[in-house]
Amino acid sequence: MIPRHRSPVGRSLLTVAAALALLVGCSSSDSGDDSGATTTTASEVTTTTALAGVLTPTESVIAGQCLDEVPDPAQQTYAVLVIPCEDPHIYEVYAQTRLDAGAGAEYPGALAVSNDAEAQCFEVFPEFMGVTWEQSDYDIQTWWPSEQSWVTKRDRTVLCAVYKVTGGRTKGSVRGSAQ
């Protein structure tokens, strides 16, 4: 995993995604460590997202959608808020890929799955953003199948999203922005 500073928002979504891994079959990680700076408070996120988003199960999220955190902690275990990209948002899903493993393949382990998922997200990042990850003001958030969803749902889907390294919100799509 490539080290990168993680915003508090990224840590929050990582916590949400970890809970999703247990209950819905989704896993998550971003590419950083825990030493990020904060520019947005939790109350600002709650106030903004409570009015703007559509509660959406994580398995229904697709590339091109923008996301915010769910304000109700009880709902954070299985859903995100999908909001119009023209509204201020935290994440933009830029790719949906599949892991190279047959439907009957054994679960290779969380580390192998997360490494493969992150590699796929890093690979398509420059095409989406217009610059390499190292040159960007944005970081990568990934979601990948948990062992449960791998086995029971034959899930091999990976979601790749971008978010501001500084923890701020984005308005509009950042596709091709070279930021």
Supply the pLDDT for residue 40.
Answer: 30
26-69 pLDDT tens trace:
444 444 443 333 333 222 333 333 446 888 877 789 999 999 88
pLDDT at 78: 65
**Range 104-117 average pLDDT:** 92
Residue 60 phi/psi, 5° resolution? -100, 0
Q: Ramachandran region of residue 170, left (φ > 0), alpha (ψ -120 to 50) or beta?
A: beta
Residue 101's pLDDT band (cuts 50, 70, 90): confident
Tokens read off for 2:
């490539």
How is residue 60 annotated by DSSP? G
CA-CA distance, 161 to 64, in Å (whole number)?
9
Intra-chain end-to-end CA distance of the chain, in Å: 22
Which range (50-54, 96-100, 113-117) has the least confidence?
50-54
**Is-contact 52 81, C-beta < 8 A?**
yes
pLDDT over 90 at 118, yes or no: yes
Longest CA span, the chain: 45
Q: Is the pLDDT of residue 88 over 80?
A: yes
Stretch 144-172: mean pLDDT, rounded?
90
Predicted TM-score of the model (pTM) = 0.68
Please count the residues of the chain. 179
Tell me how far apart the alpha carbons of residues 87 and 34 are, in angstroms, rounded to a whole number. 27
Q: How confident is the model at residue 71 (pLDDT cuts 50, 70, 90)?
A: confident
> Distance between CA 132 and CA 137 in Å, rounded?
10
Q: What is the pLDDT of residue 143?
A: 84
Q: Which residue has the tokens 């990042």?
A: 125
4 SS3 class: coil
